[in-house]
Chains A and B, each alone.
Chain A
Amino acid sequence: MKRLITLSRRDPELPPFSAELAGRRRRVLDLPLIGWLTLIWVLLWSTLTWANIITGAVVAVFVSLAFPLPRVDLGLRLHPWGIVVLAGSLLYDMYTSGVKVTRQIFTGYPHRPAVIAVQLRCRSDLMMAAIAVSVSNTPGGSVIEVRRATATLFLHVLDADQPAALEAARRSVWRLERLTVRAFGTRDEIERVAGRPPDQGTGDPANPGDRGEEPDRGRDDEGRNGT
């Protein structure tokens, strides 16, 4: 006898925390996603009643059936303490970032912007997106381009007069990477970001060759497309 709804606890083939609906076509519901959509629905109505919760769940199921997402393992883990640290750091950075941008607006001296590439250590898509969002909210740069194949962020830095400023921007990206992965990453990713940044280490197989340490030219002389 086929059940109407199969939970992933009963069926090890399903991804964790999901339910399968019986029917001609295979439809899998992601339960945390439905919970999150229901929560947003209730918050949008601003009143916590059973009617809101039930209509929210119905709308969430409908939405996730009508617009199915690709089945990927996001690799999202929640580490509460890491999230607190990340949030505090982001708030502080946002304050200093606001002050810094304001000063740059009003001092009016000719600043020299630059576009730099920063190599990340973690490779998962979700982590890269989270890092890009964190970086955009802090001083140091706004993200112009993300290259997924090599996990490289391209940042626009407002004040790049000295090479030290560029180095500081890179270091702040790596610090945010560590904080973000410690808040949301899998154990594997956390171990990976505990290592040294890829520019300084030598054992990264994805980036052969040395990076050219001259401070004013950056590290882009090695074409990574040539390999």
Chain B
Amino acid sequence: MRVWTQFTDTLGAALVFTGAAICLLGVIGMLRLPDVLSRSHAATKPQTLGLLLVLAGVALRLRSGMDLATLALIGFFQLMTSPVASHLVARSAYRTGQIEHAELLIDDLDEQLTERAPEPEPEPGPGTD
């Protein structure tokens, strides 16, 4: 029993360490990548993975039912909210012209936005936006 406790403790510590290291990689990526959209990749994906690993590590050390459920809740909200945040940052960056359009190989959205500008199409369906 004691060996088992020690094993899960060590594994949990290793997971927490790995998760923290991955979060650090995300931060380095934010510093190294050139523009907003690329940085939002680095800001969201390694962060989410790192946080999930940290949560798994903490769960291995806590080992009690309600705490595990709370950790699962934290992970759930992280998965739900971080894409929304990155989407809003990317969207406003795109619309306010913070994008190097010459850097993009293909840009499907730009043509649609500029095409849309002269005559806004009527919104089909019920206006439940």
A interface residues with partner B (beta carbon < 8 Å): 40, 43-44, 46-48, 70, 72, 91, 94-95, 97-98, 101-102, 104-106, 108, 111-117, 125, 132-133, 135-137, 139, 142-149, 154, 156, 158, 160-161, 166, 216-220, 223-225
Contact = CB atoms under 8 A, between A and B. Distances in A.
B123 to A, nearest CB: 6
B12 interface: no
A15 to B, nearest CB: 15
A113 B105 contact: yes
Contact of B110 (A104, A115, A146, A161): A115
A225 B94 CA distance: 20
Interface of B: 22, 25-26, 28-29, 32-33, 35, 37-38, 40-42, 44-46, 48-50, 52, 66-67, 69-70, 73, 79-80, 82-84, 86-87, 90-91, 94, 103-112, 115-116, 119, 121, 123-125, 128-129
Majority-rule SS of A interface residues? mixed
15 contacts: A40-B73, A46-B70, A72-B128, A95-B49, A102-B29, A114-B104, A114-B107, A117-B109, A133-B80, A135-B83, A136-B44, A139-B45, A142-B41, A142-B90, A219-B108
Given A101-B29, A105-B32, A115-B106, A225 B45 contact: no
A192 to B, nearest CB: 17
B42 A160 contact: no
